[in-house]
Amino acid sequence: MQETFPKNFLWGGATAANQYEGAYDEDGKGLSTADVMTNGSHTQARKITWIKPETGETGYVELSFQKPMNFPEGAVPAVLDGCYYPSHTGTDFYHHYEEDIKLMGEMGFKVFRLSINWSRVFPNGDDAEPNEKGLEFYEKVFKECRKYGIEPLVTLSHYETPLNLAIKYNGWTDRRVIDFYVNYAKTVMKRYKGLVKYYLTFNEINCIYMAPFLAAGIMTDDEQSKAQGAHNQFLASALTVKAAREIDPEIKVGQMLAYQPVYALTADPADQLASLKQMDRTLFYSDVQTGGRYPDWIWKDYEAKGIKLADQAGDYELLAKYPVDFLSFSCYSSSTTTTHNDGESASGNLLGGVKNPYLKTNDWGWAIDPDVLRIALNQLWDRYHKPLWIVENGIGVNDQIAADGKIHDKERISYLQQNIASMRDAVNLDGIDLMGYTMWGCIDLVSAGTGEMRKRYGFVYVDRDDRGQGSLKRLPKDSFYWYKKVIASDGADLSD
C-alpha cells in the first residue's frame, strides 16, 4: 500500500506578523514589543532598546533564552534613532499580500498560518474600540485566501504584545490583560465569522519561561512573574474557547507549543531523569491548556521557589471546562541533555542542551533529526489523545542566487524530505490523528531569534538583506516546485 496523507490533510505554510507584515506604523497600528527589537546574528544577541523618560538616558537589554532579561529601574522600551528594527518592514506582506497568497495558491496550499498583529487591531491593547483599518486589512487577506481555497489558520498572539500593555501593566503579569485579550479575540472571531475557522491563542506559550518579554510583554524576568503570566494566559485561552463556542460552533481553537523532544545523552539513569524532567517543564503548558489541569509536580516546584499564584475562585474549573480543541506545535529539531560535564553545548530555538553525536547541524547549530517528528507526534498523542497539528517545521539556510538566476535549495528539500517522511510514518504506521502541516516561513521573513534575513526558511526568496536593503522582489526557489508536487501527490511523492 502506498503511504499518503488523508485527503483532507491541511498542507501549507506558516508566518507571523511581526516577522513578515511590516507597515509597523501604518493605518493606525500601535507599537508592539517586537517593534523595539533590533537585528542581531548567530553570535550577537538582538537588543531591546529603552529610554528613561525622566533623564533621556537610552540603553538596551539583550534578548536571551538562557539568562534573565531585566530592564533597569525607570526604563521604558522604545524605538531609538539610529537603530535598525527588522519588524518595521518585515518582508512587507502588508503591501504584497495579493502576490504572496497567489504564490501559495500556485503551490496548492490548503492552509496558510498567519498571525493578527494585536496592536494593529487594538493599537494600545486596552483601547475601548478597535482600529477599523486594521480589521479591514485582515478581512482583505482572508478573502484573498478564500479565492484560492486556502483556509486561514490564525495565531492571535505571536511574539507581539501591544507595547503599551508591557509598559503600563507589566504585560501578562496583570490579570486585567486577560480581559483586553479576550475582548480582542471576540472582536476578531465575530468580525471574521465564516472566513476563519482555526485559531491558535498564543504562539509557543511555553516560551514565556525562557523569554517573558518576547512571549508575554513581561519586563520583570523572575519566576513569580512568569508563573503568574502563564496562569493568566491559560485563563485567557479558556475564555477564548468559551467565547468561540458562543460566537460560532464551527470555530476550532488550538494551543501552540514549542516542542523539542529531549534525549538523554547517556543511559545513566541520572541523564534519563534529567530528560524526563526537562520534558515535563515544556509539557506543563500543554497539561494545562490541552489537558485542562495543573500537573501535581508544579505545585511542589512553586512551593520550593516561593511562588504564590494570585488565583481566584473558579479559575481551575474554567481551565478544566474549556481546554483547547487541538494541540499544535512547532518542532525543528530535538535537544539532548546530560548531567555529565563532557557534552559540547548546542543551540536550538528554545532549549540549548548538548550536541547529539549522531546528528548534523545547520549553520546556526540546530540539529537535523530525521526522526524528530515521528517521535514528537507519538509522545504528544500518547499523552493527550487530541488531534495534533504541526504548525512550524523547517530549516534556516543562507540561500544564494546561482549563476542561472535560480535558487537551488537542496539542503532545505533534503531536510523536508526527511521530516515529511517521518510524520507520514506517524500517520500511517502509528495511527496518529494529524490535522495538517505548515512549513515555517514559507515566504522568506525575518528570523525571530536573531533578527536576521540571511536565516531564510522560505519556498520563496525575498530580496532583502540584514541592513534592510533590497527590492523586496519575490523569487520561487527549487523547493517551491518540489513542495507543489508533494501537495499534489498527498505526500506520496517526496522525490526531488
Interface residue list for ligand BG6 (CB under 6 A): 16, 19, 159, 203-204, 258, 330, 349, 392, 396, 440, 447-450, 455
* CB nearer ligand BG6, residue 290 or residue 328: 328
- Per annotation, catalytic residue among 21, 151, 160, 392: 392
Beta-strand pair 58-62/47-51 = antiparallel
Least Å distance, CB 204 to ligand BG6, is 5
Least Å distance, CB 398 to ligand BG6, is 12
Can you tell me which residue has the cell 496592536?
119
Task: Count CA atoms closer than 13 A to 320's CA, side-chain side.
Answer: 7
Phi, psi of 409 (to 5 degrees): -90, 65
Q: Taking the CB of residue 151, how many other CB atoms lie within 10 A of it?
A: 19
Least Å distance, CB 448 to ligand BG6, is 4
* CB nearer ligand BG6, residue 64 or residue 339: 64
CB-based contacts of 69: which residues, under 8 Å, 6+ apart? 48, 61, 62, 63, 211, 212, 213, 221
Q: DSSP secondary-structure letter at 124? A: T
Shortest CA distance to 138 belongs to which of 127, 124, 122? 122
Least Å distance, CB 38 to ligand BG6, is 14
**Do 33 and 20 meet the contact criterion of CB atoms below 8 Å apart?**
no
* CB nearer ligand BG6, residue 57 or residue 363: 363
* Amino acid code (one letter) for 277: K
* CB nearer ligand BG6, residue 16 or residue 427: 16
* CB nearer ligand BG6, residue 123 or residue 396: 396
* CB nearer ligand BG6, residue 16 or residue 243: 16
- 269 Rama class: left (phi>0) / alpha (psi -120 to 50) / beta: alpha
Least Å distance, CB 117 to ligand BG6, is 13
* CB nearer ligand BG6, residue 263 or residue 440: 440
Give the whole-angstrom CA distance, residue 351 versus residue 288. Answer: 21
Can you tell me which residue has the cell 525622566?
54
- How many helices (H) and strands (E) the chain has is answered by 14, 17
Q: Which residue is nearest to ligand BG6 (CB)?
A: 449
Give the whole-angstrom CA distance, residue 163 versus residue 165. Answer: 5
Beta-strand pair 360-361/367-368 = antiparallel
* CB nearer ligand BG6, residue 16 or residue 426: 16
- Per annotation, catalytic residue among 21, 160, 204, 452: 204
Least Å distance, CB 449 to ligand BG6, is 3
**Do 386 and 286 meet the contact criterion of CB atoms below 8 Å apart?**
no
Least Å distance, CB 111 to ligand BG6, is 16
* CB nearer ligand BG6, residue 39 or residue 447: 447
Q: Note if 204 is an active site residue.
A: yes
Distances (CA, A) of 43 to 18, 365, 420, 449, 452: 22, 11, 30, 11, 11
Shortest CA distance to 455 belongs to which of 404, 425, 411, 405? 411
Phi, psi of 225 (to 5 degrees): -60, -40
* Amino acid code (one letter) for 5: F
Helices (H), 171-310: 176-191, 212-216, 223-247, 269-289, 296-305
Least Å distance, CB 286 to ligand BG6, is 16
Phi, psi of 87 (to 5 degrees): -65, -20
Least Å distance, CB 389 to ligand BG6, is 14
44 is written with which cell numbers? 550577537
* Amino acid code (one letter) for 12: G
Which residues are marked as active site? 204, 392
